[in-house]
Amino acid sequence: MIPIDPLAASAPSSQAREQAVLAQARQLEALLFAQMLKASGAAQPGMSGQGSPFEGFLQTAQAEAVASAGQTGLAEAIAASLMRRAG
């Protein structure tokens, strides 16, 4: 019979761990971009002087699109830094 180490069996693979860290880093990147869009006033109020109730959804969608495109490299840099620190 082959002995099975329960800790080794439950530990995620290195690749799965890297993917999970990268996914979390992309979520952080999207959150940062959404906050930057909000602070920049990119979504100006409509003619009524009030913002649209959907303005936040638009900012979130735009931020997620930028983050998922991976063109800035921010999520990758965050993930790489976290992986180096984790060892």
Q: pLDDT by residue (tens digit) across 2-51? A: 665 555 555 568 889 999 999 999 999 999 998 988 888 765 555 455 66
Are 28 and 79 within 8 A, CB to CB? no
Residue 48 gets which letter from DSSP? T
| Contact yes or no for 14/40 (Cβ under 8 A) | no
What number is the average pLDDT over the span 64-81? 91
pLDDT value at residue 28: 94
Residue 40: the pLDDT is 84
pLDDT of residue 30: 93
* Per-domain boundaries in the chain: 56-87
